[in-house]
Amino acid sequence: MKYFPLLWAGLWRKRTRTIFTLLSVVAAFLLYGLLQGVNAWLGNAIADSRVNRLYTVSRISFIEPLPISYVQQIETVPGVDKVAYFAWFGGYYQDPKNQVQSFAGDMRRVFEVFPEWKIPKDQLEKMIHTRNGAIIGEPLATDRPRTSSRFVAAIPEWMPYSFAGPSCVFISV
Residues 83, 37 within the same domain: no
Domain count, the chain: 2
Residues 9, 85 within the same domain: no
Residues 11, 82 within the same domain: no
Residues 42, 79 within the same domain: no
SS3 of 106-170: CHHHHHHHCCCCCCCHHHHHHHHCCCCCCCCCHHHHCCCCCCCCCCCEECCCCCCCCCCCCCEEE
Contact 167, 88 (CB under 8 A): yes
Residues 123, 148 within the same domain: yes
Residues 81, 22 within the same domain: no
Q: State the residue range of the domain holding 44.
A: 4-48
User: Rounded mean pLDDT of 124-149?
Assistant: 71
With a cut of 80, say whether residue 157 has pLDDT above it. Answer: no
Q: The whole model's pTM is what?
A: 0.60
Tally of residues, the chain: 173
Residues 102, 87 within the same domain: yes
Residues 82, 8 within the same domain: no
Max mean pLDDT among 17-26, 58-67, 113-122 falls in: 17-26
Residues 85, 133 within the same domain: yes
Distance CA 32, CA 24 (A): 12
Residues 29, 96 within the same domain: no
With a cut of 60, say whether residue 160 has pLDDT above it. Answer: no
Q: Is 35 exposed, middle or buried (0-12, 13-18, 19+ CB in 10 A)?
A: exposed
